[in-house]
Amino acid sequence: MRSCREKEIKFLVRTLARNLRIGAMLRTVLPALGRAIVMNSFWNDHNKELSESCFREKLEGVSAAVVEAYNILPSLDVVVPSLMDKDIEFSTSTLSMVPGIPIKPMLAKIAKGVQEFFNLSQEKAFTCEYKYDGQRAQIHKLLDGTVCIFSRNGDETTSRFPDLVDVIKQFSCPAAETFMLDAEVVATDRINGNKLMSFQELSTRERGSKDALITTESIKVLNTISIQPN
């Protein structure tokens, strides 16, 4: 901060406070981290012999790798130390998914019609599935047997679904020490033939918290899950 000039300190503080007001979010910061590493390495003595084309290739390559790595493992506490350690050799293969840290989910995009979808698929093989009216969830089983449930935004919602945790523990294969399931939690009416219920009805369930867990006995709206084939 002491080295800042003119308005630099203003934007430095706003960046740290996540209040830059110019639309700069993580998608702006992540490539910048990669570029900073490459530029710092380039100016070190052992990298000065890099050609301009090689420099630009590294600049874009590492920046893209940081973005992709964060999608796989969205934790700056893990990504940044690994980036600094690997320097310009950082790549997406440096890190892998870790149960307990939710990854960025693949989200659907609205199309104007079936033909637009066919144009986007470019004659590639694809599968179709029903879009259930539920709540997106990532279900993680940790090494100690703990089951955690995360929302599409990465917020932990385990306390809201104790019945779902019981189902996962009951039906998961004992040989699978850890796993991550991308799923849709859907409300079902088990009194009337397991009829699927709407998202609005699922939303009537208590939200719960770490300090006030929902008990299975208090749940009026039960649920099932649909596993996403991503």
Just list the catalytic residues: 131
Residue 201 token pair: 């009805």
Contacts of 182 (CB under 8 A, 6+ apart): 105, 106, 138, 227, 228, 230
* Distance of alpha carbon 199 from alpha carbon 90, whole angstroms: 42
Which of 199, 200, 206, 169 lies closest to 184 in space, CA to CA? 199
* Distinct helix (H) and strand (E) counts, the chain: 7, 5
Contact partners, residue 45, CB within 8 Å, separation at least 6:
none
Structure tokens at 196: 């699927």
